[in-house]
C-alpha cells in the first residue's frame, strides 16, 4: 500500500500559524495524506509556546519538529519532556530535555520520525548528525517508514546526509532556510529527498520578517526585535509517497498554497 506523508515547512509567526490552521486540513484531504509532520520552531518567531504546539496539532499536524530555536521560549522545556509528538533535534547533547526520535501509529503501520540539526553554519555544539542517525537507526524498533527532518543551513550538509541515509530511511527533507529548493527526487536507493521545504508564513517578507527590518539590519543598523511581516501567506511543503512493501519512496511532490 502507498502511504502519503506531508511535510510542512517552518511555520513563522502568528500569520503563518493562522494560515496553517486555515489550509492544512483541506490540503490533507486534497492530497489523501495519511501522516503530517510540521516544523514549528518559528511559530513564536524565535521558538514556540506550548499553546502554539497545541494549535498545530488541532490544525492537523501529527508530529511537530523543531530546530535551532527549540529553546527560544523557555516554557517549552516542560512540554518537551511530556509530549511524545513534539521532537527537538536528536543530536543535541545528552542533557537537553525532550527527545529527537518518536514512533507513531499511522493506520496499520508504524512511522518513525527523526529530527536532526546541522552543524555547518548553524549549531557547532551539536553531536554529529550522521553518526546520531546511525545510532538511532540501529536501535529503532520495527517501523514501516522512517522520516527525517534535517534542520540545517548548508545545502551540502543536507545533500550529503540524504545520500548517506539513502536506502536506509524512507524520506529525508531539509528545513530552516525558509526558501524551498527545486530538487525533489527519489535518490538512487529509494529515499525521497528535498533539500528544503520552504516555510509557512508571510509571502512578502525576508524569511517571514518585515523586509524593511531585515534591510536595516544589513545596512548596519542595530538588530532589533524582529516582527513578522503581514499580508497574504504561503504554505510550502512536500508530499512523499511511500510503499509499505519496500519501505521506500516512489514519488516526491512539492506543494504550495497561497
Ligand atoms: Fe531554524
Interval 34-60: pLDDT, tens: 999 999 999 999 999 999 999 999 999
In the set 19, 34, 69, 178, the catalytic residue is 69
Check residue 220 and give its pLDDT. 85
Report, as an integer, the average pLDDT of 239-252: 98
Give the environment of ion ligand 1: residues with CB less than 5 A.
67-68, 176
CA of 104 to the centre of ligand 1 (A): 24
Whether the predicted pLDDT of 228 surpasses 90: no
Check residue 5 and give its pLDDT. 98
Which residues lie across from 110 on neighbouring strands? 105
Closest CA to 171 of 186, 160, 156, 181: 186
CA of 107 to the centre of ligand 1 (A): 31
The answer to whether the Cα torsion of 16, 19, 25, 29 is positive or negative is negative
CA of 198 to the centre of ligand 1 (A): 11
CA of 246 to the centre of ligand 1 (A): 32
Contact 87, 115 (CB under 8 A): yes
Q: Name the pLDDT band for 141 (thresholds 50, 70, 90).
A: confident
Q: How would you classify residue 9: left for phi > 0, otherwise alpha for psi between -120 and 50, otherwise beta? A: beta
Report, as an integer, the average pLDDT of 143-148: 97
Whether the predicted pLDDT of 186 surpasses 90: yes
Confirm whether pTM is higher than 0.85.
yes
Check residue 55 and give its pLDDT. 98
Give me the percent of the chain exceeding a pLDDT of 90.
88
Report, as an integer, the average pLDDT of 139-156: 94
* Nine-digit cell string for 207: 524569511
Whether the predicted pLDDT of 80 surpasses 90: yes
Q: To the nearest whole number, what is the mean pLDDT of the chain?
A: 95
- Can you tell me which residue has the cell 508530499? 239
CA of 85 to the centre of ligand 1 (A): 19
Q: What is the β-pairing status of strands 199-202 and 233-243?
A: antiparallel
Whether the predicted pLDDT of 75 surpasses 80: yes
Question: What's the pLDDT tens digit per position in 109-124?
Answer: 999 999 999 999 998 8
Whether the predicted pLDDT of 95 surpasses 80: yes
CA of 33 to the centre of ligand 1 (A): 25
Q: Name the pLDDT band for 221 (thresholds 50, 70, 90).
A: confident
181 vs 36: CA distance, rounded Å? 20
CA of 255 to the centre of ligand 1 (A): 20
Check residue 85 and give its pLDDT. 98
CA of 243 to the centre of ligand 1 (A): 30
CA of 136 to the centre of ligand 1 (A): 22
Q: Name the pLDDT band for 63 (thresholds 50, 70, 90).
A: very high
Higher-pLDDT residue of 188 and 142 is 188
Q: How would you classify residue 198: left for phi > 0, otherwise alpha for psi between -120 and 50, otherwise beta? A: left
Residues 6+ apart with CB under 8 A from 39: 7, 8, 9, 10, 11, 64, 65, 66, 67, 149, 151, 175, 197
Does the active-site annotation cover 69? Answer: yes
Amino acid at each position: 500500500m502507498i502511504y502519503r506523508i506531508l511535510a510542512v515547512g517552518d511555520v513563522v509567526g502568528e500569520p503563518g500559524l493562522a494560515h496553517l490552521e486555515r489550509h492544512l486540513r483541506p490540503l490533507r484531504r486534497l492530497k489523501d495524506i495519511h501522516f503530517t509532520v510540521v516544523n514549528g520552531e518559528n511559530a513564536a518567531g524565535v521558538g514556540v509556546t506550548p499553546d502554539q504546539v497545541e494549535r498545530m496539532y488541532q490544525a492537523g499536524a501529527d508530529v511537530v519538529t523543531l530546530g535551532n530555536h527549540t529553546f527560544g521560549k523557555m516554557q517549552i522545556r516542560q512540554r518537551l519532556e511530556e509530549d511524545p509528538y513534539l521532537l527537538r533535534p536528536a543530536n543535541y547533547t545528552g542533557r537537553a530535555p525532550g527527545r529527537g526520535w518518536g514512533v507513531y501509529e499511522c493506520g496499520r503501520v508504524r512511522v518513525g520520525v527523526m529530527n536532526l540539526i546541522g552543524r555547518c553554519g548553524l549549531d557547532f555544539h551539536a553531536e554529529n548528525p550522521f553518526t546520531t542517525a546511525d545510532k538511532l537507526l540501529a536501535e529503532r524498533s520495527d517501523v514501516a517508514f522512517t522520516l527525517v527532518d534535517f534542520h540545517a543551513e548548508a545545502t551540502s550538509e543536507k545533500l550529503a546526509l540524504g545520500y548517506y541515509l539513502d536506502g536506509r530511511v524512507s524520506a529525508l527533507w531539509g528545513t530552516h532556510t525558509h526558501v524551498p529548493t527545486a530538487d525533489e527526487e527519489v535518490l538512487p536507493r529509494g529515499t525521497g529527498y528535498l533539500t528544503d521545504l520552504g516555510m509557512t508564513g508571510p509571502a512578502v517578507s525576508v524569511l517571514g520578517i518585515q523586509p524593511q527590518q531585515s534591510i536595516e539590519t544589513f545596512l548596519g543598523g542595530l538588530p532589533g526585535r524582529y516582527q513578522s511581516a503581514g499580508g497574504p501567506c504561503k504554505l510550502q511543503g512536500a508530499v512523499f509517497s511511500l510503499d509499505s512493501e519496500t519501505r521506500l519512496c516512489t514519488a516526491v511532490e512539492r506543494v504550495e498554497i497561497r
